[in-house]
């Protein structure tokens, strides 16, 4: 009779003794944590999220003409594909003066895309666009836009990216501009400002 082959077990961990085990010396053992008794008469402190004073319920009072619109990389690319002039189409959508803003992160993202997106880069360098300098580390445009919109509620975000839209919808009082049917549309815009009804 031959020797039976044992199947090797892969990714098995060596079992370690817990620090509270009885086999470990008394001084090396982990001490059991003592719970503090709560004083029933003490005032309980609770952290309440601070909301900006510009928000009146879900209504943002900082929004108003001229509109400052934060533009994302893919918004410029899809505008070129749909043959839309950015500034003119924004004005057609909102019926007011629009100032497209572009952050350093978005500019860096367009520059990284290379020769294929040179038209988008030329549009982004248009003098009608306002450049916003970034002070944070890294050049991830989505995080940059979300952070900026969270701090300052005076912007409309122009994007086609689903994930970014989902993130911005969680922030109250920030409208989103997107492209559909070869025109710009806006969502979550207060009714007072004449958001177009589709």
pLDDT bracket for residue 192 (50, 70, 90):
low
Sign of CA dihedral 110, 111, 112, 113: positive
pLDDT (tens digit per residue) in 18-53 = 777 888 888 777 776 777 777 777 777 777 767 777
* Whether pLDDT at 93 is above 60: yes
Q: How far apart are CA 102 and CA 4, in angstroms?
A: 70
Torsion of CA 97, 100, 101, 107, to 10 degrees: -170
| Average model confidence (pLDDT) across the chain | 85
Give me the pLDDT at residue 60, please.
79
Nearest C-alpha neighbor of 161 from the set 178, 143, 145: 178
Note whether 109 and 141 are within 8 A (CB).
yes
From CA 129, how far away is CA 39, in angstroms rounded?
58
Distance of alpha carbon 188 from alpha carbon 58, whole angstroms: 10
């Amino acid at each position: 009779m031959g020797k039976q082959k044992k199947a090797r077990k892969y990714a098995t961990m060596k079992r370690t003794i817990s620090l509270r085990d009885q086999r470990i010396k008394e001084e090396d053992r982990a001490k059991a944590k003592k719970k503090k008794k709560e004083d029933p008469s003490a005032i309980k402190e609770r952290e309440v999220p601070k909301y900006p004073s510009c928000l009146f319920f879900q209504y943002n009072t900082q929004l108003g003409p001229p509109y400052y619109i934060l533009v994302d990389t893919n918004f410029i690319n899809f505008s070129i594909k749909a043959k839309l002039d950015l500034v003119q189409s924004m004005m057609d959508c909102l019926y007011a003066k629009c100032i497209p803003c572009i952050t350093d992160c978005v500019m860096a993202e367009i520059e990284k895309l290379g020769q294929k997106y040179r038209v988008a880069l030329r549009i982004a360098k248009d003098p009608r666009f306002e450049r916003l300098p970034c002070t944070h580390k890294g050049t991830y445009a989505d995080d940059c836009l979300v952070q900026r919109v969270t701090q300052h509620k005076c912007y409309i975000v122009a994007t086609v990216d689903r994930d970014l839209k989902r993130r911005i919808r969680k922030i109250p009082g920030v409208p989103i501009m997107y492209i559909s049917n070869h025109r710009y549309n806006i969502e979550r815009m207060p009714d007072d400002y004449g958001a177009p009804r589709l």
